[in-house]
Structure 1
Amino acid sequence: MIADNDITSTLQEKVVAAIADQQPLNIKGGGSKAFYGNTTTGIPVQVAPHTGIIAYEPSELCITARAGTRLQDIEALLAANGQMLAFEPPCFSPDSTIGGVIASGLAGPARPWSGSVRDHMLGVKLITGYGKVASFGGQVMKNVAGYDISRLITGSMGTLGLILEVSLKVMPRPATELTLTLDLPSQEAFELVTTMRNSTLPLSATCYFDGCLYLRLSGVASHVVASHRKIGGEPLNNPDQFWEALRNQTHEFFQQYDRPLWRLSFPSSANVISRLEGNSLIEWGGSQRWVYTNIPVNLIRNIAHKGEGHATVYRGSLPGVNPFHPLQPNMLSVQQRLKQAMDPHSIFNIGRMYKDW
């Protein structure tokens, strides 16, 4: 087995060589999210061999692992101790890595109630665009001045540095869970979920698909039972299978490959889904909406903009269209300055998010 220091040194040497040769790198983990974002050229750099749990103490609610560690292995360890990654990251294949989880920033059904990937980041070690190994943050939550680099790295698609290690906050698994189903028209479902978001009901996930609203309740048994009586609805058989299929996108809705799949994100109060043609599935209490549609790109992105949200071509491609929503000029300037500061020689995953950077 190759020692951790040897792997780190090898990765660092590749970054240093890329800087010297002005040769971009294509950072690869498990490859399960290769469909997401633009295709990037460059010398492939495999991070998957960089594996292993570095530190885990259940009582501290924190885990530190190398970037190539398989997500399944981390979750199995946490489950054995009655804990979980509360943001429920999707696991698209057995090869999915924790580094890929952080780089993509994708979260599952619990995200509005438990927080995003970024909210659970405690620290990160990475190889910078200067060819140096640097650590940011730690294993406990702290308030610090300036940029929180570990959170900036989250969702950056490998464009700001090569992730070596991550430290994440973990949470206890809920004592009781119950999933309810209610057959409702879309508007009534939206109004019910909006009301529930502002209540004390132990809501932990929602989904609206094919005329049915799915509500997951999580917490102490007495609160879950009392909430069921208040809401009504029928308990769902095999709820774990349903939410896992939704999280890992093996649900039937995601099995359509004949046209691009859009992901639209809106503030929870936005009610614009009726303006979008096509087959859809709504998550996150209305904040995340998956749509297969033939609406022109400029129109669907205009709808997203007016709703103070954004529209991403999540899977599939459209000629001449960048998958990620165009940035406003002020945000574009910030992002470009950040890229320049973190990757001054332009070697990390060039073009993966936006053209030329």
Structure 2
Amino acid sequence: MLDAFIDRIRAAHADRTPLIIQGGGSKRFYGNAGEGEVLDTRALSGVVDYQPKELVLTALAGTPLVEIEALLAENRQMLAYEPPYFGGAATLGGSIAAGLSGPRRPYAGAARDFVLGVRMIDGTSQPLRFGGQVIKNVAGYDVSRLMAGALGTLGLLTEVSLKVLPKPAAEATLQFEFDEAGAILEMNRWAGQPLPLSATAWHAGLLTVRLSGAGSAVHAAQTRLGGEPLHDAGAFWQRLRDQTTPFFDKRPLWRLALKPTAPPLDLGGIEWIEWGGAVRWLASSLPATTLRETARAAGGHATLFRGNAPADGVFAPLSPALLRLHHALKQRFDPRGIFNHGRLYPGL
């Protein structure tokens, strides 16, 4: 199976033919527009190895996330970074390449934190392997985690090994009425206390908090915090994870990653806050320069998540030093720039 991919990449390298790496296509909207022929990864499907007692799963990159999560559920385990589906047939490779994580991310870890190893094919058609299938397997620079968030610009992922976690014994979701400033204050105050937080979100005056862990810990925290229980909590967090609520239909939609303690930005748009205040989703038509400068002043950066890309791309421009590093990595893994050209940054 891999031979067909190697031959296709070898020919593209020789002819300098650009390729767009794509699995289920659920994240086509994310990043800058690509160019070239689609290299469909869905033929690379199936679980290679799963050791529930070791909390390790290895699967081919085109394996649908729904199949992986169904298998894990049989053993009351989960992908703790809660990868978003965005309503599509999301695949394991796509979730790692995009590097996007769901509501549990600040409390359990990001997608890259769970990557133990990868197999891939670089831009010269060379099969490569980094990391392994055990939790402590890396000495030196961890190249496997470099693939998380690279949007396929460094190579075609063919196999991924991940650490998985047990599902919590109990969960409860509570809601509180707060204005934006009050919600940010409370989320940060609770984050500094021994509470089993696993997700937080604020929108339109309503703060929603998820508690996960041992039954006694969840019950004690619920009694301590008060609030109103949310009975369709699973559906609420899934809608937020996959951005299927009406708020996320708005364009342009910006994702501002900030210090959690940053005060309200008062930019005038409609907002949804996640991750204890660290992510501010903003529906706004303000100029990209205004939003990026505001985010920088608040200790973070701004990404155009959905909408027409500005001239300098959807991601915040890199400093000269970081840009040189990106060019060096691209040159090492994909010297002729055939993979997802320009998807991450213009010219890469």
Normalised TM-score (structure 2): 0.97
Closer, same or farther: CA 319–327 of 1 in aligned 2, 3 Å? closer
* Secondary structure of 1:274's aligned partner: coil
Find the residue that maps to 2:146 and give its secondary structure: helix
For residues 138-177 of structure 1, the C-alpha deviation after alignment (integer angstroms, 9 at most, x for no partner) is: 1112263432111000010000000000001000000000
1:262 corresponds to 2:254: yes
Alignment of 1:62 onto 2:53: no
1:165-219 deviation digits (Å, cap 9, x = unpaired): 0001000000000000000111111111101111110000000011000000001
Report the AA paired with residue 252 of structure 2: P
User: Residues 25 and 88 of structure 2 are in contact (CA less than 8 Å); yes or no, is this contact kept in structure 1?
Assistant: no
Deviations 1:38-93 (A, max 9, x none): 11111221111110000001101010000110010000111111000000000123
Tell me the CA shift for residue 267 of structure 1: 2.0
10, 14, 20: which is aligned to 2:8? 14
1:322 — aligned with what?
313
Give the secondary-structure state (helix, strand or coil) at the position aligned to 1:101.
helix
**Equivalent residues of 2:49, 2:58 under 8 A apart:** yes
Aligned equivalent of 2:323: 332
CA distance in 2, matches of 1:151, 1:292: 31
Give the aligned length: 348
Confirm or deny that 1:35 pairs with 2:29: yes
The answer to whether the Cα contact below 8 Å between 2:87 and 2:244 also exists between their aligned partners in 1 is no
Q: 1:349 to 1:81 in 2, by over 3 A?
A: same
C-alpha contact (below 8 Å) 1:103/1:153 kept by paired residues? yes
Of 42, 45, 59, the residue aligned with 2:39 is 45
AA aligned opposite 2:156? L
Distance in 2, matches of 1:175 and 1:314, equals 34
Contact 1:72 1:94 in 2 (8 A): no
**Aligned-residue offset at 1:294:** 2.1
Q: Name the structure 1 match of 2:211.
A: 217
Give me the whole-angstrom Cα distance separating, in 1, the residues matched to 2:330 and 2:296.
24
Rounded Cα–Cα distance in structure 1 between residues aligned with 2:133 and 2:148: 16
Q: Which consecutive segments of 4 or more residues in structure 1 shift more than 6 A?
A: none
Contact 1:89 1:247 in 2 (8 A): yes
> Which of 263, 278, 300 matches 1:309?
300
CA distance in 2, matches of 1:328, 1:307: 18
Structure 1 stretch displaced more, 199-208 or 331-340: 331-340
Whichever residue aligns with residue 301 of structure 1, its letter is R
Q: Distance in 2 between matches of 1:139 and 1:58?
A: 13
Q: Aligned partners of 1:264, 1:40: CA distance in 2, in Å? A: 23
Contact 1:70 1:94 in 2 (8 A): no
1:197 paired with 2:191, answer: yes
Structure 1 residue identity aligned to 2:180 = S
Q: Verify the 8 A CA contact 1:277 1:295 in the aligned structure 2.
A: no
Q: How does 1:115-264 map to 2 (within 5 A)?
A: 115-142=109-136, 144-256=138-250, 259-264=251-256
Instruction: Give 1:321 shift.
Output: 4.2
1:280 touches 1:291 (CA, 8 Å); kept in 2? yes
Per mean C-alpha deviation after superposition, the further-off stretch among 224-233 and 199-208 is 224-233
Q: Do residues 299 (structure 1) and 293 (structure 2) align?
A: no
What does residue 342 of structure 2 align with?
351
Q: What's the TM-score, normalizing by structure 1? A: 0.95
SS at match of 1:174: coil
Find out whether 1:79 has 2:77 as its counterpart: no
Distance 1:225 1:142 in 2: 34
* Structure 2 unaligned spans of 5+: none
> CA 1:37–1:94 in structure 2 vs 1: closer, same or farther (change >3 Å)?
closer
Aligned residue in 1 for 2:96: 102
Report the Cα distance in structure 2 between the residues aligned to 1:179 and 1:165, rounded to whole angstroms.
35
Q: Which moved more, 1:135-144 or 1:177-186?
A: 135-144
Structure 1 unaligned blocks of 5 or more = 1-6
Structure 1 SS opposite 2:39: strand
